[in-house]
Amino acid sequence: MTIWSNVIGTGGYLPATIRTNHDLSEMVDTTDSWIYERTGIKSRRIADVHETASSMAEIAARQAIEMAAIDAEQIDLIIVATGTPDRVYPSTACLVQERLGIKNCVSFDIQAACSGSVFGLSIADQYIKTGFAKTVLVIGSEVCSRIVDWTDRSTCILFGDGAGAVLLAASDRPGILATHIHSDGGYEDLLYCPNPQAAAQVRQDEAGFISMRGNEVFKVAVNTLGRIVDETLEANHLQQSDIDWLVPHQANTRIIAATAKKLGMSMDQVILTLETQGNTSSASVLLAFNQGVRDGRIKRGQTVLMEAFGAGFTWGSALLKF
């Protein structure tokens, strides 16, 4: 009998503070119209001083557990994707395990930048399919605001904070149909965030903030996401019309529109959160999925294609029946 990974719950958390493009125009040399036209972003959420990746992840996780109506103790694996962990160690996943009061499970973090939640779903699916785990919590949680240089107009306009979660359980009913994940480590210079404490050599200008050559990243992202769509459809013998919903990583509406076009989809079939959330890195796909599920757009039995692209470069897709 085939074992599938079924979505039994979703959750999301966004900090209360809203930072608008207008707010940013008072901090750096930019305008609301430049940001909105180039990116599709109008505002983003900013964590308060007490919030961390683990505190936001806990809230998203509790929502997913409540939707699934399970006891948290049933979770046997917690995977947290984050580029902004509370601590180098323990992992944020271990901190979330403790926050949820789960004594008997395995928890670890993964780091795949903005592709983190898609990579997390892929890992979770392997563990469920092999029978190692029956119930897996996958979370993407980020306090991007703490690794953004708020004097750099080319990056600070893009990012926001938040957490998204999904609970998967073993089932004989189709769930995750396939995941396709990739990386190419040859692009470090185009997009990176230094870790000054651990680096062998720290350059004067490397204060631990995101550095991105946006225009070059943009071109690779559009091409790569086009290829991952083709790969996913071909490998799973699907037509464009078999996909009900595109749940993309939320980096730029122009990138998302190019992927939707490639799929022959109208923007009405795309779950977009970018306008009010910005790019929440590894949290963005699961935050968007949670929104689509909770507002009733994504319905049971429908086919969802998630895709993401991030630093590394890393990229991938998760194709699932909800």
Binding site for ligand ACO (CB under 6 A): 30, 34-35, 38-39, 113-114, 153-154, 157, 191, 214-215, 217-218, 221, 251-252, 255, 279, 281, 309-311
Report in angstroms how near the CB of residue 57 gets to ligand ACO at its nearest.
18
Given the residues 105, 114, 144, 193, the one annotated as active site: 114
For ligand ACO, the closer of residues 67 and 157 by Cβ is 157
The CA-based angle 134-138-143, given to 5 degrees, is 160
Report in angstroms how near the CB of residue 164 gets to ligand ACO at its nearest.
15
| Long-range CB contacts for residues 231-236, cutoff 8 Å, separation at least 24 | 231/180, 231/317, 232/178, 232/180, 232/305, 232/307, 232/317, 232/319, 235/178, 235/180, 236/177, 236/178, 236/319
Does 50 participate in catalysis according to the annotation? no
For ligand ACO, the closer of residues 136 and 181 by Cβ is 181
Report in angstroms how near the CB of residue 154 gets to ligand ACO at its nearest.
4
For ligand ACO, the closer of residues 39 and 43 by Cβ is 39
- What one-character DSSP code corresponds to residue 270? B
Report in angstroms how near the CB of residue 183 gets to ligand ACO at its nearest.
12
For ligand ACO, the closer of residues 112 and 136 by Cβ is 112
Given the residues 6, 21, 252, 279, the one annotated as active site: 279
Q: How does strand 135-143 pair with strand 77-81?
A: parallel
For ligand ACO, the closer of residues 175 and 310 by Cβ is 310
Are residues 42 and 21 in contact, defined by beta-carbon separation less than 8 angstroms? Answer: yes
SS3 for 232? helix
Report in angstroms how near the CB of residue 221 gets to ligand ACO at its nearest.
5
Rounded-to-integer distance, Cα 97 and Cα 106, Å: 9
Are residues 114 and 284 in contact, defined by beta-carbon separation less than 8 angstroms? Answer: yes
Does 22 participate in catalysis according to the annotation? no
Q: Which two tokens mark 48? A: 């308060």
Given the residues 144, 180, 249, 290, the one annotated as active site: 249
Report in angstroms how near the CB of residue 140 gets to ligand ACO at its nearest.
12
Whose CB is nearest to ligand ACO? 214
Tell me the residue ranges of DSSP E strands in 21-175: 43-46, 77-81, 106-110, 135-143, 161-171
For ligand ACO, the closer of residues 6 and 39 by Cβ is 39
Q: How many CB atoms lie within 10 A of CB 111?
A: 16
Does 249 participate in catalysis according to the annotation? yes
- Gyration radius (Cα) of the chain, Å: 18
Q: How far is CA 79 from CA 6, 76, 88, 105, 252, in A?
A: 16, 10, 16, 11, 26
What residues act catalytically?
Answer: 114, 249, 279
